[in-house]
A and B are shown apart, each in its own frame.
Chain A
Amino acid sequence: MRLRGWMIALLALFGMARRRRPQRQPRERIVAAGQPDPRAELIAIGLLLLAAAAAVAFVVFYALGFSTQALGGTLAGALALIAAALILAAKRLVVSEQLPGEYPEPEPEQQEALAQIVEESGSRLTRKRLLGLAAGAAGGSLGAALVAPAASLGPLFDTSSLYTTPWRRGRRLIDEAGRPMLAADIETDVFYSAFPEGASKDALGAPLVLVRLDPAALRLPAGREDWAPGGILAFSKICTHAGCAIALYRTPTFAPTQPAPALVCPCHYSTFDPARGAAVTFGPAGRPLPQLPLMVDGAGALRAAGNYSGAVGPGWSGVRSEPPA
Chain B
Amino acid sequence: MSAAIRCLVIAVAALALAPAGARAQPPIVRPPESGALPAQQLGRELFAGNCATCHGSRGDGVASRGPALRGVGRRAPDFYLRTGYMPLGDPHDQPERSRLQFREREIRALIDYVDSLGGGPSVPEPHPERGSVADGLQLFTEHCAGCHQVVAEGGVVTGARVPPLDQATPVQIAEAVRLGPYVMPRFSERAISDPELDSIVAYVRYAQDPDDRGGWGISHLGPFPEGMVTWLIAGTLLVATCVLIGERLRRS
Q: Which residues from chain A sit less than 8 Å from chain B, CB to CB? A: 87, 90-91, 98, 100, 185, 187, 189-192, 245, 247-254, 256-259, 262, 264, 266, 269, 271, 282-283
Contact = CB atoms under 8 A, between A and B. Distances in A.
Which has the most chain B C-beta neighbours within 10 Å: A100, A252, A253?
A: A253
A258 B88 CA distance: 13
B180 A251 contact: yes
30 contacts: A87-B245, A98-B249, A98-B250, A100-B251, A187-B188, A190-B187, A190-B188, A191-B191, A245-B146, A247-B145, A247-B146, A248-B147, A248-B157, A250-B158, A250-B183, A251-B186, A252-B182, A253-B180, A253-B181, A253-B183, A256-B65, A257-B65, A258-B182, A259-B159, A259-B183, A262-B159, A264-B157, A269-B158, A271-B159, A283-B158
A114 B66 CA distance: 85
Contacts of A256: 63-65
A269 B159 CA distance: 10
Interface of B: 63-67, 91-92, 145-147, 156-160, 179-188, 190-191, 245, 249-252
A259 B245 CA distance: 60
A257 B186 contact: no
A249 B185 contact: yes
B65 to A, nearest CB: 7
Nearest to A189: B186
Contacts of A189: 180, 185-186
Nearest to B65: A257
Contacts of A247: 145-147
Contacts of A191: 185, 191
A258 B245 contact: no
Contacts of B67: 253-254
A266 B146 contact: yes
Given A190-B186, A257-B65, A264-B158, 9 more contacts: A100-B251, A190-B187, A191-B191, A192-B191, A251-B183, A253-B179, A257-B64, A266-B146, A283-B158
Contacts of A91: 245
A293 to B, nearest CB: 23
B191 to A, nearest CB: 6
Contacts of A269: 156-158
A87 B244 CA distance: 10
Nearest to A260: B159
B146 A258 contact: no
A271 B158 CA distance: 7
B65 A100 contact: no
A187 to B, nearest CB: 6
